[in-house]
Amino acid sequence: MSATEILEELRRMPEAERRELVETIELEFGDFDDELTPEQLAELDRRAEDALRYPGRGKPVDQVFAEIEERLRAKK
């Protein structure tokens, strides 16, 4: 079975079953490296300093989540 055929089959599965299968695949085959690189840590520090320096520039988390959900709905 090709990757394309597998993806087509996944799309036909009920959502709950599909999510469970994807989670199982991720746990079995995912290569997790939870350690951040020095560059990533430096970028997080830079962003935190920027957020503290300019607190009004960010978006409320509810707005960010709503925008993400809207983008995901548009892709379906």
Domain boundaries, the chain: 1-32, 34-76
- Global pTM? 0.42
CA distances from 52 to 17, 62, 72 (A): 43, 19, 30
Determine the average pLDDT of the residues in 5-13: 92
**Helix 3-12 and helix 15-29, axial crossing angle in degrees, nearest 10:** 140
Q: What is the pLDDT of residue 62?
A: 94
Give percent above pLDDT 90 in the chain. Answer: 68
- Mind listing the pLDDT tens digit for each residue in 39-59? 999 999 999 999 999 988 888
